[in-house]
Amino acid sequence: MQRLEKQFVEYNQHLLQSKQEIKALVDEKVMLTKKAEDLEQAAKVIVDMVDPVEGEVSERRILLERLQRAPQRITNFVSEATKTYVAHVLSLVKSFWPKADLSCIAMTADCSERKFNDYLTEVGPFAQKILEDFELE
Protein backbone atom coordinates (compact mmCIF):
# COMPACT_ATOMS: atom_id res chain seq x y z
CA MET A 1 0.00 0.00 0.00
CA GLN A 2 2.83 2.41 0.88
CA ARG A 3 4.48 1.63 -2.40
CA LEU A 4 1.26 2.48 -4.27
CA GLU A 5 0.84 5.69 -2.27
CA LYS A 6 4.43 6.65 -3.08
CA GLN A 7 3.83 5.94 -6.78
CA PHE A 8 0.62 7.97 -6.62
CA VAL A 9 2.48 10.93 -5.12
CA GLU A 10 5.23 10.62 -7.75
CA TYR A 11 2.67 10.41 -10.57
CA ASN A 12 0.78 13.35 -9.15
CA GLN A 13 3.99 15.41 -8.97
CA HIS A 14 4.86 14.35 -12.52
CA LEU A 15 1.34 15.34 -13.65
CA LEU A 16 1.64 18.77 -12.02
CA GLN A 17 5.05 19.28 -13.57
CA SER A 18 3.69 18.25 -16.99
CA LYS A 19 0.77 20.68 -16.62
CA GLN A 20 3.20 23.49 -15.82
CA GLU A 21 5.33 22.63 -18.85
CA ILE A 22 2.23 22.53 -21.07
CA LYS A 23 1.09 25.90 -19.72
CA ALA A 24 4.54 27.37 -20.35
CA LEU A 25 4.49 25.99 -23.92
CA VAL A 26 1.00 27.38 -24.53
CA ASP A 27 2.05 30.79 -23.20
CA GLU A 28 5.14 30.71 -25.43
CA LYS A 29 3.01 29.74 -28.43
CA VAL A 30 0.62 32.62 -27.76
CA MET A 31 3.54 35.04 -27.44
CA LEU A 32 5.20 33.75 -30.63
CA THR A 33 1.89 33.89 -32.52
CA LYS A 34 1.40 37.50 -31.41
CA LYS A 35 4.97 38.33 -32.40
CA ALA A 36 4.47 36.72 -35.83
CA GLU A 37 1.22 38.66 -36.34
CA ASP A 38 2.94 41.92 -35.36
CA LEU A 39 5.82 41.21 -37.77
CA GLU A 40 3.36 40.34 -40.53
CA GLN A 41 1.45 43.59 -40.01
CA ALA A 42 4.68 45.64 -40.01
CA ALA A 43 5.92 43.86 -43.13
CA LYS A 44 2.57 44.40 -44.85
CA VAL A 45 2.74 48.16 -44.25
CA ILE A 46 6.20 48.33 -45.82
CA VAL A 47 5.35 46.01 -48.69
CA ASP A 48 2.18 47.97 -49.46
CA MET A 49 4.33 51.09 -49.78
CA VAL A 50 6.67 49.59 -52.38
CA ASP A 51 4.37 47.01 -54.01
CA PRO A 52 0.84 48.40 -53.83
CA VAL A 53 -2.07 46.02 -54.18
CA GLU A 54 -3.60 46.39 -57.64
CA GLY A 55 -6.83 44.47 -58.01
CA GLU A 56 -7.63 40.91 -57.09
CA VAL A 57 -4.53 39.36 -58.65
CA SER A 58 -2.16 41.28 -56.39
CA GLU A 59 -4.29 40.59 -53.33
CA ARG A 60 -3.80 36.88 -53.84
CA ARG A 61 -0.02 37.17 -53.89
CA ILE A 62 1.27 36.05 -50.57
CA LEU A 63 3.04 38.53 -48.34
CA LEU A 64 6.31 36.57 -48.45
CA GLU A 65 6.54 36.87 -52.25
CA ARG A 66 5.88 40.60 -52.07
CA LEU A 67 8.39 41.01 -49.25
CA GLN A 68 11.04 39.15 -51.24
CA ARG A 69 10.53 41.55 -54.16
CA ALA A 70 10.61 44.65 -51.93
CA PRO A 71 14.39 45.31 -52.07
CA GLN A 72 14.32 45.43 -55.88
CA ARG A 73 11.22 47.62 -55.84
CA ILE A 74 12.90 50.01 -53.38
CA THR A 75 16.04 50.12 -55.53
CA ASN A 76 13.94 50.89 -58.60
CA PHE A 77 12.05 53.61 -56.72
CA VAL A 78 15.24 55.27 -55.49
CA SER A 79 16.73 55.11 -58.98
CA GLU A 80 13.65 56.68 -60.57
CA ALA A 81 13.40 59.33 -57.84
CA THR A 82 17.07 60.20 -58.32
CA LYS A 83 16.57 60.60 -62.07
CA THR A 84 13.57 62.82 -61.43
CA TYR A 85 15.46 65.01 -58.95
CA VAL A 86 18.48 65.35 -61.24
CA ALA A 87 16.23 66.24 -64.18
CA HIS A 88 14.48 68.81 -62.00
CA VAL A 89 17.76 70.40 -60.95
CA LEU A 90 19.08 70.49 -64.51
CA SER A 91 15.79 72.04 -65.64
CA LEU A 92 16.30 74.74 -63.02
CA VAL A 93 19.80 75.37 -64.36
CA LYS A 94 18.43 75.67 -67.90
CA SER A 95 15.63 77.98 -66.74
CA PHE A 96 18.22 80.45 -65.42
CA TRP A 97 20.85 79.81 -68.09
CA PRO A 98 19.04 78.72 -71.28
CA LYS A 99 22.22 78.56 -73.38
CA ALA A 100 23.99 76.23 -70.93
CA ASP A 101 25.42 73.12 -72.58
CA LEU A 102 24.46 70.41 -70.09
CA SER A 103 25.95 67.62 -72.20
CA CYS A 104 29.36 68.24 -70.61
CA ILE A 105 28.14 67.78 -67.02
CA ALA A 106 30.22 65.14 -65.27
CA MET A 107 33.01 65.03 -62.73
CA THR A 108 36.06 65.79 -64.84
CA ALA A 109 39.55 64.40 -64.39
CA ASP A 110 40.92 67.82 -63.34
CA CYS A 111 38.40 68.03 -60.47
CA SER A 112 39.72 66.24 -57.40
CA GLU A 113 37.38 64.34 -55.15
CA ARG A 114 38.11 66.83 -52.35
CA LYS A 115 37.20 69.79 -54.56
CA PHE A 116 34.07 67.99 -55.71
CA ASN A 117 33.09 67.39 -52.05
CA ASP A 118 33.71 71.09 -51.36
CA TYR A 119 31.29 71.90 -54.18
CA LEU A 120 28.74 69.49 -52.69
CA THR A 121 29.03 71.23 -49.33
CA GLU A 122 28.69 74.65 -50.97
CA VAL A 123 25.50 73.75 -52.85
CA GLY A 124 23.96 71.76 -49.97
CA PRO A 125 21.64 74.56 -48.78
CA PHE A 126 20.47 75.15 -52.37
CA ALA A 127 19.83 71.45 -52.83
CA GLN A 128 17.76 71.42 -49.64
CA LYS A 129 15.70 74.34 -50.94
CA ILE A 130 15.15 72.60 -54.28
CA LEU A 131 14.00 69.45 -52.50
CA GLU A 132 11.61 71.44 -50.34
CA ASP A 133 10.18 73.11 -53.44
CA PHE A 134 9.99 69.77 -55.23
CA GLU A 135 8.02 68.21 -52.37
CA LEU A 136 5.43 70.98 -52.60
CA GLU A 137 4.57 69.99 -56.19
Predicted TM-score (pTM) of the model is: 0.54
pLDDT at 55: 64
Better-scored residue on pLDDT, 41 or 128: 41
Q: Who contacts 52 (Cβ-Cβ below 8 Å, separation ≥6)?
A: 58
| 1-31 residue pLDDT tens | 888 889 999 999 999 999 999 999 999 999 9
Q: Using alpha carbons, list the distances in angstroms from residue 98 to 15, 86, 91, 95.
A: 87, 17, 9, 6
One-letter amino acid at 51 equals D
Three-class SS state of 62? coil
| CA separation for the pair 21, 72 (Å, rounded) | 44
Q: Cα torsion for 84, 89, 91, 96, to the nearest 10°?
A: 170
CB atoms within 10 A of CB 76: 11
The pLDDT value recorded for residue 39 is 94
C-alpha neighbours within 13 Å on the C-beta side of residue 79:
6
Amino acid at 9: V
- Rounded mean pLDDT of 104-110? 65
pLDDT of 61-105, one tens digit each?
688 888 898 999 999 989 998 888 888 888 888 888 888 877 777
